[in-house]
């Protein structure tokens, strides 16, 4: 099915949307079907566990988990699936995201979660990392990703040229 969501984007709270929306934009640009849910390791632990346990069977290839504070969502999801799990540390008071980052990068050996950029760029980079994973088995998507990089490079070179005028 062409429109079968292949990426699940989970966020610990709807308040994480300003960062997560960066991922939606990337997936829209690359034409990748995704599904988004507010789901919490602590507030909806049963739903998070069940979603993760069924993710592969439901056709997902990658799961992105954005969470702030004690950001256990990625870890809980990774505990229940062997799909690649990408964690986005969300900044929140009082430790400004360092707590979330530590929660994601201190996974015990055997249950990996990949951490991407903390802060606003996290959504965009999580999605681009997911695109890289999906592109391993999709030559057309791999070419799109290369074109994205070429355009990005051209933009920086153009900005540099303008600075020299
Ligand atoms: C986490 O706690 C969420 O991921 C969010 O970043 C943070 C605060 O959640 P809310 O109080 O805004 O719902 O679970």
Tell me, in angstroms, the distance from the centre of ligand 1 to residue 98's CA: 14
User: Is the pLDDT reported for residue 2 higher than 80?
Assistant: no
Q: How confident is residue 1, by pLDDT bands cut at 50, 70 and 90?
A: low
Q: For residue 92, which atom of ligand 1 is closest to its CA? A: 6
Alpha-carbon span 72 to 108, nearest angstrom: 12
Provide the edge-to-edge strand list for the sheet that holds 34-38. 34-38, 7-11, 62-68, 85-90, 114-115
Q: How confident is residue 131, by pLDDT bands cut at 50, 70 and 90?
A: very high
Alpha-carbon span 88 to 62, nearest angstrom: 13
pLDDT tens-digit map of 94-109: 999 999 999 999 999 9
Three-class secondary structure of residue 95 per DSSP: coil
139's tokens:
């030559």
Residue 86 phi/psi, 5-degree rounding, is: -115, 125
pLDDT tens-digit map of 21-79: 999 999 999 999 999 999 999 999 999 999 999 999 999 999 999 999 999 999 999 99
Alpha-carbon span 165 to 160, nearest angstrom: 9
User: Is the pLDDT reported for residue 82 higher than 90?
Assistant: yes
Candidate of 10, 12, 90 to mutate for ligand 1, largest count of ligand atoms within 8 Å of Cβ:
12
Say which residue the tokens 């507010």 belong to. Answer: 38
User: Is the pLDDT reported for residue 6 higher than 80?
Assistant: yes
pTM summary value: 0.96
Say which residue the tokens 């984007």 belong to. Answer: 9
Q: Is the CB of 76 under 6 A from ligand 1?
A: no
Q: Identify which of 67, 77, 125, 65 has the alpha carbon closest to the alpha carbon of residue 99.
A: 67
The mean per-residue pLDDT over the stretch 4-18 comes to 98
Tell me, in angstroms, the distance from the centre of ligand 1 to residue 86's CA: 18
Q: If you average pLDDT over every residue of the chain, what do you get?
A: 97
CATH number, domain 7-138, options 3.40.50.1100, 3.40.50.1970, 3.40.50.2000, 3.40.50.300 = 3.40.50.1970
Domain boundaries defined on the chain? 7-138
What integer pLDDT is reported at residue 42 of this predicted model? 98
Q: How confident is residue 154, by pLDDT bands cut at 50, 70 and 90?
A: very high
Q: Is the CB of 96 under 6 A from ligand 1?
A: no
Q: Does the complex come out with an ipTM higher than 0.85?
A: yes
Alpha-carbon span 76 to 108, nearest angstrom: 12
35's tokens:
């599904």
55's tokens:
């993710």
């Amino acid at each position: 099915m062409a429109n079968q969501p292949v990426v699940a984007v989970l966020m610990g709270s709807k308040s994480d949307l300003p960062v997560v929306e960066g991922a939606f934009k990337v997936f829209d640009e690359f034409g990748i079907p995704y599904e988004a849910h507010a789901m919490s390791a602590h507030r909806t632990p049963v739903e998070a566990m069940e979603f993760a346990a069924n993710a592969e069977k439901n056709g997902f290839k990658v799961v992105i988990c954005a969470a702030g504070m004690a950001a256990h969502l990625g870890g809980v999801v990774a505990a229940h699936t062997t799909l690649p799990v990408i964690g986005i540390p969300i900044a929140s008071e009082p430790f400004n995201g360092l707590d979330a980052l530590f929660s994601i990068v201190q996974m015990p050996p055997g249950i990996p979660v990949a951490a991407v950029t903390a802060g606003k760029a996290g959504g965009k980079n999580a999605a681009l990392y997911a695109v890289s994973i999906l592109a391993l088995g999709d030559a057309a998507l791999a070419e799109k990703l290369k074109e994205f990089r070429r355009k990005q490079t051209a933009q920086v070179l153009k900005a540099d040229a303008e600075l020299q005028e």
